[in-house]
Structure 1
Amino acid sequence: MARSSFRRSKTKQKPPAWWRWPGEHEWIAGVIGWVDLVRPDATERLGWLTSQPEVVGMRNWAMTRSDPLWLASADLDDGFAALAASRLTYDALVNSSNLRALRDRLARTPGLRVCIDHFAYPRPDWPHGGREEQDWIGHLSALAAEGCTIKLSGFGHKVDGRWQPHLFSRYVDIVLDVFGPEQTMWASNWPTVLTECSFRDWYDASRDWTAGLSVDEHGQLFGGTARSFYGV
């Protein structure tokens, strides 16, 4: 996104042509961008993203870092402070080992609005009630209390090469109990979801998992929470 534009030149540039997508495709309500928050010009880059009406937030890949505590690094303080001061939200692409650092980041950056992507990847092989599951629940409960939202999106439903959504139903129950539909949003994870199953498989599983919700709660989960969080 903005990354490729800035790499070509350090001079100020007009937005790339593809930023006009929402004008050409009305079904695009917003775009999540990317900024390297460690860079000394991170504040300037965030300012550029904020000036683009199509951009509603940003995210980066904490879960691929060698240090699971990377999100809490002091090197990111200025960048996250600028993000919190902007209108943009933060999508946290984390796994369970990063949740402690995400909590620390929220403590270091008041006002940061966070959505936890992919349920922070709970694992199907966690024992019911085991330490891993309890740690995950504990961190998520603390983050929910801080006002974070969470995204019901693809989190690895292939087990032993087979699509097995029933192994994850308990995690959907836990998250809906902790966050509630008003802090949970559904996402297609398309087209990445196609590496695991068809879009219809994913959608049908999501409806099955949430069959116990009321009509209003379904409205929150399948649209209302996203509209509120991203301001679209």
Structure 2
Amino acid sequence: MKIDAHQHFWQPARGDYDWMPKDDATLSRPYVPTDLAPQLATAGISRSILVQAAATVNETEYMLGLADATETVGAVVGWVDFEASDVAETLARLGKHPKFSGVRPMIQDIPDDDWMLRDDVQNGFRAVCDLGLTFDALGFPRHLANFLTILTRYGDMRCVLDHCMKPDIAGHSPDSFQHWADGMSAIARETGAYCKFSGLVTEASDNWTVDDLRPYAFHIFETFGPDRVMWGSDWPVVRLRAEYDRWLEAAEILTDALTADEKVCVFGGTAAEFYQIDAS
């Protein structure tokens, strides 16, 4: 089974996509399952992981409704308010849906870089662990040290780092690369976290090449290993830099050195194991 471990659907008219530019020709339009279906079919991908794009519980409910009507959606990663007193009850309710896998706080958009360390959000992390849910870590390299703290504190939390933690590929200064590489190595070495092989092209320049991405991909595979790495399209955000097929082709080139079994992990097996998707 080939799995796209990270994609989105959205309807801007719902009004809760606060991060979305109002007049962006690529982003500020609806994206629904029928828009993605041709790309999945062409690539031979039978399941995808639908990930939240708005910081509301309404977004989670919206995605679960789409998942009910869309066979290719294998799991849903939603959003809940970690600061709410009833966060555990909300997660328990959502967890009754067969396709609800876990949550993703939009940490990259929170002004306080230390938000995840605050006392008033720890009940959210504890509930994710207690309920056996997944946690998608969305942030930038500046968040790596805090994510290491959280992942060490909650050692049984099933966590995946989204988009390789968004390294500055466009700038690609030696200092920024080393900071990112050291932080990713520490998490790979000291925790059981996984990593999504996604989002790299949108952190690169408009005229990116496969060689621009190669040092970052190499580091991810070297440190996490293919059994803890899963490929994702990040569609439709990826369309800011490339269409679905071009990013998939680049990812296949970047995994040329892997064995056949390792490629099976990256392009489906790892995601199936992490999100507990039945391969049959």
TM category, shorter: 0.7 to 0.9
Q: Quick one: structure 1 residues 17 and 193, their matched pair in 2 at CA, closer, same or farther if it must change by over 3 Å?
A: closer
> Under a length normalisation based on structure 2, what TM-score does the superposition of the two structures give?
0.73
How far 1:140 moved relative to its partner?
Answer: 1.3
Report the counterpart of residue 133 of structure 1 in structure 2. Answer: 177
Q: Which residue of 1 aligns with 2:150?
A: 105
Cα deviation code 1:200-224 (max 9, x no counterpart): 1101110111111110000000000
For the residue of structure 2 that corresponds to 1:32, the secondary structure is strand
Equivalent pair of 1:157/1:164 in contact (CA under 8 Å)? no
- Which residue does 1:8 correspond to in 2? none
For residues 50-70 of structure 1, give each alpha carbon's deviation from its aligned partner in whole angstroms, at most 9, with x where no partner exists.
111111121011111222222
Distance in 2 (CA, whole Å) between partners of 1:63 and 1:16 is 22
Task: Show structure 1 runs of 5+ residues with no match.
Answer: 6-14
Corresponding residue for 1:4?
A: 58
| 5+ long unaligned stretches in structure 2 | 1-51
Greater relative contact order: 1 or 2 (C-alpha under 8 angstroms, separation 6 or more)?
A: 2
Aligned-partner Cα distance in 2 for 1:157–1:16: 30
Which of 236, 255, 274 is the equivalent residue of 1:229?
274
Whether 2:102 is the aligned partner of 1:57: answer yes
Aligned residues: 220
Quick check: 1:30 aligned with 2:69?
no
Aligned residues of 2:132 and 2:157 also touching (Cα < 8 A): no
Query: Which residue in the other structure is 1:196 paired with?
Result: 241
Q: CA deviation at 1:96?
A: 0.2
Instruction: Give me the whole-angstrom Cα distance separating, in 1, the residues matched to 2:254 and 2:177.
Output: 19
Is 1:144–2:188 an aligned residue pair?
A: yes
1:200-219 alignment runs, 5 A limit: 200-219=245-264
CA RMSD of aligned residues (A): 2.0
1:61-89 per-residue CA deviation (whole Å, 9 max, x = no partner) reads: 11112222222222211111011111210
1:109 shift after superposition: 2.3
Aligned partner of 2:226 among 181, 184, 191: 181
- Normalising by structure 1, report the TM-score: 0.87
Contact 2:63 2:76 in 1 (8 A): no
In the alignment, the residues of structure 2 paired with residue 209 and residue 78 of structure 1 have an alpha-carbon distance, to the nearest angstrom, of: 39
Percent of pairs identical after alignment? Answer: 29
Question: Are the counterparts in 2 of residues 118 and 153 from structure 1 also a CA contact under 8 Å?
Answer: yes
Q: Which amino acid aligns with 1:3?
A: V
